[in-house]
Amino acid sequence: MIRSKNRKSHIQQLLLNQFKTKRYLTFIEKIFRGNANQASITLQDLFSFPLALPPKESEQRAIAEALGEVDALIGALDQLIAKKRNMKQAAMQQLLTGKQRLPGFNGDWEVKRLGDLCQSITLFG
């Protein structure tokens, strides 16, 4: 856990957002030492990460608030996407088993072998 020296919540938020940047990840990759069995990054290494902060606390707070609002929006959108994904999965299960039909369609489904419909299958993984 990393805490700002003055423990002000807006500084904590700014630090958290700094640690999510590509610039920080590149910094970590640059100072990373070790092998497959053990990695080594010292506190001194971490504390040497250069941070740019606006001089006025009011601007720091405004930035932290704006980033917090965007994080909250992204969280809400992630929940909505998960809900829609679940709805799609349920619809697929109903439609692709013939349990539910789209309006205007009726009759029995044909049963075919996969090989009758596909020439080849490529697996990605």
**DSSP 8-state class, residue 108:** P
pLDDT tens sequence across 59-113: 999 999 999 999 999 999 999 999 999 999 999 999 998 889 999 998 899 999 9
Asked whether the beta carbons of 35 and 21 are under 8 A apart, the reply is no
Prediction pTM value:
0.63
Least confident stretch, 22-26, 29-33, 63-67, 98-102: 29-33
Sequential DSSP letters for 29-95: HHH-EE-SS-EE--HHHHHT------SSHHHHHHHHHHHHHHHHHHHHHHHHHHHHHHHHHHHHHHH
- HSE of 8 in the Cβ direction (CA atoms, 13 Å)? 10
pLDDT of residue 34: 63
40 strand-pairing partners: 33
